[in-house]
């Protein structure tokens, strides 16, 4: 019997057109989130590589579900999010991506990358990821755990232009991530400059903290 991830070695055509359906994220769901640091000129190759990895993971592993691929506005980060059943599915995904021929291409375009399992702790406001939306999106990783979830929810939901946020806790509770949307990009910048945001999320760009204004490239359902 083959391992669940072995079929990933076979080539499967991937539709690289941007867009996709709106995704509704449910609290309690598990998500594999990877962040790749790339040179700006290699961003399209990084996006294509992760789109292919996500599509083939979903085909080979029925328990891999919805997914989204994001790109930072400065084109230095590619972020992929994949809905999984939990720890066992995450182990299969990690093995599959390491074994697959795309591994070499992924490393060729990425300066560095991280892959971790997160659980969606809570939604605030609009809880969908929608490529058709004109909202401005941002993704942020925070080095501390989910103990600040309530404070983050209160601070971000009170900000002008706020539309929605999803707060994730890393497996192991040593980090968290926030994916949020505002009506306009300048409202995100204004929020991140406030004392409230710096208190609950840390200064943007501080050691151990990552903040990226992002665009939705593609969703999968």
Could you please report the per-residue DSSP string of 82-140?
EEESSHHHHHHHHHHHHHSTHHHHHHHHEEEEEEEEEEEEEEEE--EE-TT---EEEEE
pLDDT in tens, 114-143: 889 999 999 999 888 998 999 999 999 887
What pLDDT does residue 42 have? Answer: 85
Domain 27-118 identical in fold to domain 119-219: yes
Quick check: helix, strand or coil at residue 163? strand
Q: How is the chain split into domains, by residue range?
A: 27-118, 119-219
Q: Identify the band that residue 7 occupies on the pLDDT scale cut at 50, 70 and 90.
A: very low
Q: Name the percent of the chain lying above pLDDT 70.
A: 79
Half-sphere exposure of 124 (CA within 13 A, CB side): 23
Quick check: helix, strand or coil at residue 60? helix
Structure tokens at 24: 């509704």
Given a cut of 50, whether residue 10 has pLDDT beyond it is no
What pLDDT does residue 110 have? Answer: 67
What pLDDT does residue 207 have? Answer: 56
pTM of the model: 0.84
pLDDT in tens, 27-41: 999 999 999 888 888
Fold of 119-219: Alpha-Beta Plaits (3.30.70)
Handedness of CA 33, 37, 39, 42 (dihedral sign): negative
Q: Which of 2-16, 44-58, 204-218 has the lowest mean pLDDT?
A: 2-16
Given a cut of 50, whether residue 11 has pLDDT beyond it is no
Fold of 27-118: Alpha-Beta Plaits (3.30.70)
């Amino acid at each position: 019997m083959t391992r669940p991830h072995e079929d990933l070695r076979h080539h499967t055509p991937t539709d690289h057109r941007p867009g996709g359906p709106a995704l509704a994220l449910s609290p309690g769901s598990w998500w594999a989130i990877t962040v790749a640091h790339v040179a700006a000129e290699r961003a399209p190759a990084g996006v294509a590589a992760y789109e292919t990895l996500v599509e083939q993971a979903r085909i080979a592993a029925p328990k891999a579900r919805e997914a989204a691929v994001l790109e930072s506005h400065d084109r230095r980060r590619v972020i992929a999010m994949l809905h999984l059943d939990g720890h066992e599915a995450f182990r299969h995904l990690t093995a599959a991506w390491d074994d697959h021929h795309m591994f070499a291409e992924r490393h060729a375009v990425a300066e560095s990358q991280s892959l971790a399992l997160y659980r969606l702790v809570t939604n605030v406001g609009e809880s969908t990821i929608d490529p058709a939306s004109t909202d401005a999106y941002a993704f942020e990783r925070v080095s501390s755990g989910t103990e600040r979830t309530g404070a983050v929810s209160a601070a971000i939901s009170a900000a002008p232009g706020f539309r929605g946020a999803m707060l994730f806790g890393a497996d192991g509770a040593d980090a968290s991530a926030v994916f949020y949307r505002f009506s306009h990009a300048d409202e995100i910048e204004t929020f991140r400059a406030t004392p409230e945001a710096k208190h609950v999320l840390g200064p943007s760009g501080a050691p151990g903290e990552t903040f990226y204004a992002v665009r939705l490239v593609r969703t999968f359902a």
